[in-house]
Chains A and B, each alone.
Chain A
Amino acid sequence: MKNFLYIFYVGILLVVVASCSPSNPSGYSRYGAFPETSEVTVIENALDSVYFRYPYRVEIGNGLAVLLDLHNDSHYLYAFTYPDWQPVASFGKRGEGPEELLSADRVRLCSSDSVWVLDANRMQITRWAVDVANRQVSRVETVSLDKRLLRTLDFCKTTNGFLVDDYTGEYRFHEIGMDGRIISSMGTIPTEDEEKRKNPMALAQAWRSFMDYDPQSGTLVIATQLGEVIEIHNLKTGFHTVLYGPGGEPAFSSQGSEAFPKGIKGYNDVQVTDKHIYVTFDGIAFKEKYRQYETGEKGLDGGQYLYIFNLQGNPVRSFRLNRSVFGLSVNEKDGIVTCTTTDTDNPIVTLNL
């Protein structure tokens, strides 16, 4: 009988140990160390003429730069000339009026008369035209998004419409037309915990991600806000891979259809070119962020890491920055990365690759 008890308890112990050990049931790739790592001091750019409360996203192209201020006092967006950062005009007034924005979650700068802004609360993508000579920005088009999407928190512009993230938990992303209607729905959330799929809405919330699309290579990259997972979809060749970083998949608890973040805060932004994938990464546990907030300690918003992968998902290079950053805009040709930061009064920092 004594032997039976020993065997029984050892058996239970083994089961517990096995369930706590890291496993890789899906066969998704893992990345760890980068072949090249550097510590970098960024260059700070003062934009004295405009005050930003929470510079979150930056888009640069066609001699323009657009900054998105997530927690602004009056306008969500501000256009500048680039590279001299001369202010053009603010736009996207915060408010409930018909021409105003309830929220601004992402801006995409395609050309001076094609600046696209996502308002997740109104479920609209609006197009704006920037007139540098007259220092004016006007709203020229509104696309109301398909109600079946429930909520859209990120998007990319394509030739024929948009790619948007999924909030239903049934898919990973959707292709939508210029009329805002769903053309096709693709992918699934690459969780390794099949139990989590029983609550798809909470799963989708926890896997809230940032996305970017390079039309030249056909590469769509999706990076999770919690945890450390990157998905690469080549919409031309069908290539698809999932990379799990050391932070693993988004950790969360759920109640009803709501998800509550646990574990670490992950990626802050992503950009893909025809050669590389660039992501800004946080990596700090919510518990620690919470502790800092409660004790009044000035914690860092954003993340201090910039990672570079190739289009197959292999780690290429990592940087640890002396500033904590959110959004990024990469000029690969000139080797310049521009990021937004809430660390200092200077909303923009740059680094040379």
Chain B
Amino acid sequence: MKRTLLKFLVGIISLLGAYFYVQTEKENLTDLALDNIEALAQGENTNLYCFGEGDIDCKGIKVKKRFDGIR
């Protein structure tokens, strides 16, 4: 019974681990990208970074990418 319970727990933990691994996949930025950050807005627990020259609306400017954090 103990071994069964252990198997059950290991199974659940593995499933949860796989789920969170997929969910937390984040983008990395190189120095080149960081150099080109054109705007940063912070407020109400939100980090908003805008960089590059493109047509995505980001705090009043048009950028290549808007994203929520740097790792």
Listed in ascending order, the chain A residues whose CB lies under 8 Å from chain B are: 1-2, 5, 8-9, 12, 54, 56, 70-71, 102-103, 120-121, 153, 205, 208, 225, 253, 255-258, 260-261, 268, 286-287, 289-290, 293-294, 296, 301, 326
What 1/0 mask marks residues of chain B from 39 to 53 whose CB sits below 8 Å from any chain A CB? 000011111100011
* Residues of chain A lying within 8 A (CB to CB) of residue B30: 294
Q: Give chain A nearest CB distance to B64 CB in angstroms.
A: 6
Are A71 and B62 within 8 A (Cβ)?
yes
8 contacts between A and B (CB under 8 A): A121-B60, A256-B44, A256-B46, A260-B66, A261-B65, A289-B64, A293-B64, A294-B33
* Residues of chain A lying within 8 A (CB to CB) of residue B52: 293
Are B53 and A54 within 8 A (Cβ)?
yes
Q: Give chain A nearest CB distance to B34 CB in angstroms.
A: 10
Give the most central of A12, A225, A286: most B CB within 10 Å.
Answer: A286
* Residues of chain A lying within 8 A (CB to CB) of residue B54: 301
Are A208 and B8 within 8 A (Cβ)?
no
A-B contact count (CB 8 A): 70
Are B60 and A326 within 8 A (Cβ)?
no
Listed in ascending order, the chain B residues whose CB lies under 8 Å from chain A are: 1, 4, 7-8, 11, 15, 27, 29-30, 32-33, 43-48, 52-57, 60, 62, 64-68
* Residues of chain A lying within 8 A (CB to CB) of residue B68: 253, 255, 258, 260
* Residues of chain A lying within 8 A (CB to CB) of residue B33: 290, 293-294
Are A208 and B55 within 8 A (Cβ)?
no
Q: Give chain B nearest CB distance to A90 CB in angstroms.
A: 19
Q: Given the known A-B contacts A121-B60, A255-B46, A296-B32, are A289 and B55 also in contact in the complex, defined by CB atoms under 8 Å?
A: no
In Å, the complex CA distance between A301 and B65 comes to 12
